[in-house]
Amino acid sequence: NVSVVLFTADLRLHDHPPLRAASEADEVVPLFVRDRGVTDAGFAAPNRLAFLADCLHDLDAGLRDRGGRLIMRSGDVVDEVCKVAAETDAGEVHMAGDVSAYAHLREQRLRRALESQGRRLHVHDTVTTAVTPGEVTPASTDHFAVFTPYLRQWSRVPLRDAFAAPRTVRVPDGVGSEKLLSRSGLTGLSEGLASGGETEGRRRMSAWLRSGIAAYEDRHDDLAGDATSRLSPHLHFGTLSPVELVHRARRAGGPGAEAFVRQIAWRDFHRQVLAARPAASTSDYRTKHDRWRSGREAREDTEAWKEGRTGYPVVDAAMRQLRHEGWMHNRGRLLTASFLTKTLYVDWREGARHFLEFLVDGDIANNQMNWQWMAGTGTDSRPNRVLNPVTQGKRYDPDGAYVRRWVPELAEIEGPLVHEPWKLQGLDRAAVGDYPDPIIELPDGLARFKQARGLD
């Protein structure tokens, strides 16, 4: 008998419950469908496609080492899975559960279509999250809207053991596959884009556990120090298992590991919010705000923000890092999102869309829910906090090294004064060349914000 494993956001062989379950059959068809629905939704940004290509090649190589190979098809995911299942006369299809509205719909459609062919769909938990959305809930409702009580319960959930990768994978003969997606031919990639794939993800995870995690609590907010794990694209594409990562981090122990595991819980937290309220990917989750600026001036401000020429150095540095690497430090994400939604008072959806165009870890749950958190429409219990970009710069980039790295116009300015180039005089002033003046005075932004939110 034959089982199909449909890989989605779980592009790995280690700790993979669907593959493990499917391997009980005599033969397995490891399938990836390049889903037209994802492309049509505009979600196939070049940086993520390139990372995905790496992941698929690495997955294929891992399967070949075990006697198998990856089968790739393109089209409507439900049609393609049904075709492959029919071609191989597979009795079962195994896949990971996921949280977006699209993933829910995909699962429903697939279940119905397979059942009509007399086949069964098995959807596995704890593949893309450590704790399954809905597994812990408050007494009165279906999901947690506040992180701290969520974390308390999340931490108490006993995690299943992590599974080893299978030793062999037997794929039936003669199953047709398209050529795997390739990086070559893709345009518009960020220059400093990371490489994908499970092998690379596991290498990074080991290096992080060995020499990064211990200092995480002290250094995670240091913009120039770049002392976070950078495992986010691997978690997004599932080249790493969150269950295995939490086990291994806990084994590493200490305050760094504890702080790191808390971030993995944040990831699960946003997923359980989105799973319960799929509409939150596009509409305000808790507090509705509809007085966002629009019109020509707002558009110009948004362009300046996207291009990293707002005149606020730490904002511009972070926005340029995003373009250059397809990744941005979490502190940068927080302060640039605050700047767009609160100082410029532009709709969070504009910012979220721009991030998704570039982020290699661009993820509906994490991106949209973090944007909502920062915009004050989501789960932040202090929805009207505004991050001051100068104070943030001085606090999290005290010597200015992060700004000098990403904003070459300011590379000659030494020390923290780099955060306030408008205060420079004489030769220093001349050295900044065409670096722009601030596009807005912070007190004006704050006054507009308070007025729009009725806080006066």
Residues that bind ligand FAD (CB under 6 A): 220, 228-232, 235-236, 263-264, 266-267, 270, 330, 333-334, 337, 355, 359, 361-363, 366-367, 370-371, 374
Q: Is the Cβ of residue 85 or residue 231 nearer to ligand FAD in the bound state?
A: 231
Nearest approach, Cβ of residue 209 and ligand FAD (Å): 12
- Residue at token pair 């669907």: 18
Among 36, 8, 164, which Cα is nearest to 97's?
Answer: 8
Task: Tell me how crowded residue 284 is: count the other CB atoms within 10 A of its CB.
Answer: 18
Nearest approach, Cβ of residue 67 and ligand FAD (Å): 33
Say which DSSP state 248 is in: H
Nearest approach, Cβ of residue 309 and ligand FAD (Å): 20
* CA separation for the pair 247, 264 (Å, rounded): 11
Are 74 and 32 contacting, i.e. CB atoms less than 8 angstroms apart?
no
Give the largest CA-CA distance in the chain: 79
Q: Is the Cβ of residue 21 or residue 162 nearer to ligand FAD in the bound state?
A: 162
Nearest approach, Cβ of residue 218 and ligand FAD (Å): 13
Q: Is the Cβ of residue 30 or residue 256 nearer to ligand FAD in the bound state?
A: 256
* CA separation for the pair 350, 380 (Å, rounded): 19
Nearest approach, Cβ of residue 138 and ligand FAD (Å): 20
Q: Is the Cβ of residue 23 or residue 190 nearer to ligand FAD in the bound state?
A: 190
Q: Is the Cβ of residue 70 or residue 257 nearer to ligand FAD in the bound state?
A: 257
Contacts 24+ apart (CB under 8 A), 283-286: 284/372, 284/377, 284/378, 285/369, 285/372, 285/377, 285/378, 285/379, 286/145, 286/372, 286/377, 286/378, 286/379, 286/383
* Burial of residue 135 (number of CB atoms within 10 Å: 0-12, 13-18, 19+): middle
Q: Is the Cβ of residue 263 or residue 388 nearer to ligand FAD in the bound state?
A: 263
Q: Is the Cβ of residue 85 or residue 127 nearer to ligand FAD in the bound state?
A: 127
Nearest approach, Cβ of residue 349 and ligand FAD (Å): 12
Are 305 and 344 contacting, i.e. CB atoms less than 8 angstroms apart?
yes
Q: What is the CA radius of gyration of the chain?
A: 23
Nearest approach, Cβ of residue 219 and ligand FAD (Å): 10
Tokens representing residue 133 in the block: 């959305």
Q: Is the Cβ of residue 230 or residue 277 nearer to ligand FAD in the bound state?
A: 230
Nearest approach, Cβ of residue 450 and ligand FAD (Å): 22
